[in-house]
Structure 1
Amino acid sequence: MRKVKLGTAEVSCLGIGAMSFAEFYGPTTDENSYAILDAAMALGVTHIDTSNVYGMGRSENAIGAFLRANPGARDHFHIATKGGINRSGEGTQPFDNSPDHLEAALDASLARMGIDCVDLYYVHRRQEARPIEEVAETLAALVKKGKCRAIGFSEIAPSSLRRAQAVHPVAAVQSEYSLGTRFAEMGLVQTCAELGTTLVAFSPVMRSMLTDTPLAEDVIPGLPFLKTNPRFMAPNYAANRALTDGFRALAAEMGVPAASLAIAWVLHRGAHVLPIPGTRNVAHFRDLVKGTELSLSPEDMTRIEQVLPIGWAHGDRYSYDQWYGPERFS
């Protein structure tokens, strides 16, 4: 599998988004998560991307249990986690980027996974009142202490990336990026390329929408995040399902699963782009990995974007409440 530079490391060009290990998109078991990690080792996928708040530690606990049961797995995997969201109930600030909070969160993550260092530590959400330069210094101190090897940020603007980069190299910025969510092309894709920062693309198959088996409409009310997400609410969801039928038809015509084609499209947006889809199913995981094997011609890219032109999706990517934290830019 092709490699992508991430800080000073080289990782597989596809990673695992481990939010799915914590039932974000529906029920799962730790055994399902272990099966995904087994398949990743067999298929050459090396990057795992998790967070301390995914299932309030459940995702990290599953990863830790797998590492303990498979002694060679730690050397295989490049592990990233995140901190900075405050769900302790202490105070009124939902985001805490203070040195004490970020280090304590990282220490707890390390304990859950049974490791002494993560390869990449992101700030999950910026605390607006705290200058990002100060936060970059905090993360740099954690690198010096040997608790993480590289630093990153999630959902920040290109201007914020430049400010942080001036203090310490930023290995990765995580952002939603797919055929249905293309705002990152308004400066973030370009700035990451210029600065040598990896753009870690989450939800690259648009939360199942760009697969052959989108989530059934009657499942969505049972998923706390999606039931209030504009793209998955009526009437937008039906409209989006109808529009993506054309994408599924195109994938079938090309002889590949829709998820594979969606991943291939993201990978073709830049050599520094690293998609991290999540899944609870090994067969689906194999479809995602197959996307790394596809070579798309300029004509193929044109056909894909004729079916799903920029701006096609109905509804915003976040609700009003969900927009609290991510940085908007234009």
Structure 2
Amino acid sequence: MSMPKRQLGTDGPMVSAIGFGCMSFAGFFGPADDDTSLETLAAVEAAGIDFWDTANIYGMGRSERIVGQYLKETQAKVTLATKVGIVPGPPRGFSNEADYIRAELENSLEKLNRDKVELYYIHRREQERPIEEVAETMGRLIEEGLIDAWGLSEVAPSTIQRAHRVVPVRAVQNEYSLWSRQPELGVIQTCEDLGIAFIPFSPLGRGVLGDVDLDPPNFEAHDFRKVNPRFMKPNWSANMDHVRAFRAFAAKKGVTTSALALAWVLHQGDHMMPIPGTRTAAHLAEWVGATSISLSEDDLWDIEEVLPVGWAHGDRYSDVQMVGVERYC
């Protein structure tokens, strides 16, 4: 079955309904090696996934470099997104200053072996700088042909509205899944009203919504989830009770847990293009068929019973990880 397409915002290109997040290539969720990452990208391309997402800080350029190497070697035709705005620490900071954005874009383009990217996100908003000024900066990059469009990540509805009035926003990327549903409190609706694509990242709950139990106590020290409250005791045990019930429901339907979780996200609106990530082609195979799963009203009710809104124990970020994320409710 071919991968269906969805439109990346009003007047945007048609892209695969499921995109691909390249954060895992940087080793954020366990060991990663470049050769395996390149093999994974080959499987991603073969699956018809042509909307790829990376960022300048993923492995301090490692993810962009791997993507760029693959594109150079294969000439693959993809719609590419990358990000700017997080300044590595310690302590970590944020900059949406025009010269910084331009310099980082030039560095990203060099690593990606591209003359432009189709989508350039503000990874985190610099709160001291008016978002209208940032929109003007991104508008100039569009006029110069260095980017086709721009987007925002982890922002509030009010920020989206203000930015969009200056230079139309093509996409907004916030965390969204069956265990992180905050965007339902305004972001999803704002994007739909304005014709903006909504790009759920971590749609599989950072690996928890799968068929195999994770082992948080044995995560490597640099694993992003090591200090994440949802993966720590006593929250973890409570969360796994819900996950195992969801697994049982998926098994009853004859699908993998991750494919069902992804199908649920896709079902929430045609303007949604989730970007799951993985380090291996084997894991890709577990969820790539999500677009072929149909969900009835009864299915949706059953899922809601097993994983009701707010079921997750613990915050989705630690206090340190939360810095830079806009809170609005």
Fold shared per TM-score above 0.5: yes
1:303 corresponding residue in structure 2: 302
TM-score by length of 1: 0.96
- Answering whether residue 81 of structure 2 is matched by residue 83 of structure 1, we say no
**Which of the residues 19, 23, 28 maps onto 1:19?**
23
- Answering whether residue 128 of structure 2 is matched by residue 129 of structure 1, we say yes
Query: Following TM superposition, by how much is the alpha carbon of 1:31 offset from its aligned partner in structure 2, in angstroms?
Result: 1.5
CA contact (8 A) 2:216 2:225 kept: no
CA contact (8 A) 2:174 2:200 kept: yes
Mapping of residues 156-175 of structure 1, within 5 Å: 156-175=155-174
- Counterpart amino acid of 1:82? K
**Which of the residues 56, 60, 65 maps onto 1:61?**
65
Identity %: 49
Mapping of residues 236-255 of structure 1, within 5 Å: 236-255=235-254
CA contact (8 A) 1:202 1:275 kept: yes
1:108 corresponding residue in structure 2: 107
2:328 corresponding residue in structure 1: 329
CA contact (8 A) 2:87 2:94 kept: yes
How far apart in 2 are the matches of 1:41 and 1:93? 34
How far apart in 2 are the matches of 1:118 and 1:294? 32
TM-score by length of 2: 0.96
Seen in structure 2, the aligned counterparts of structure 1 residues 44 and 224 have a Cα distance that, compared at 3 Å, is closer
- Counterpart amino acid of 1:39? A
How far apart in 1 are the matches of 2:190 and 2:216? 37
- Counterpart amino acid of 2:99? D
How far apart in 2 are the matches of 1:224 and 1:38? 25
Query: Following TM superposition, by how much is the alpha carbon of 1:28 offset from its aligned partner in structure 2, in angstroms?
Result: 1.2
- Counterpart amino acid of 1:303? D
Query: Following TM superposition, by how much is the alpha carbon of 1:42 offset from its aligned partner in structure 2, in angstroms?
Result: 1.2
CA contact (8 A) 1:220 1:232 kept: no
- Number of residue-to-residue matches in the alignment: 325
Query: Following TM superposition, by how much is the alpha carbon of 1:224 offset from its aligned partner in structure 2, in angstroms?
Result: 3.9
How far apart in 2 are the matches of 1:140 and 1:173? 16
How far apart in 2 are the matches of 1:160 and 1:13? 26
Unaligned runs of 5+ in 2: none
CA displacement, residues 203-239 of structure 1 (integer Å, 9 cap, x when unaligned): 1010111111242233335344211111011111121
Unaligned runs of 5+ in 1: none
CA contact (8 A) 1:4 1:12 kept: yes
CA displacement, residues 115-170 of structure 1 (integer Å, 9 cap, x when unaligned): 11001000001000000011011011111111110100100101110000000110
Q: Secondary structure at the match of 1:321?
A: helix
- Counterpart amino acid of 2:317? Y
Query: Following TM superposition, by how much is the alpha carbon of 1:30 offset from its aligned partner in structure 2, in angstroms?
Result: 1.1
**Alignment RMSD:** 1.3
Query: Following TM superposition, by how much is the alpha carbon of 1:195 offset from its aligned partner in structure 2, in angstroms?
Result: 0.4
Query: Following TM superposition, by how much is the alpha carbon of 1:287 offset from its aligned partner in structure 2, in angstroms?
Result: 1.9
Q: Secondary structure at the match of 1:199?
A: strand
**Which of the residues 16, 33, 39 maps onto 1:35?**
39
Greater mean alpha carbon deviation, residues 26-35 or residues 110-119: 26-35
2:265 corresponding residue in structure 1: 266
Seen in structure 2, the aligned counterparts of structure 1 residues 79 and 308 have a Cα distance that, compared at 3 Å, is same
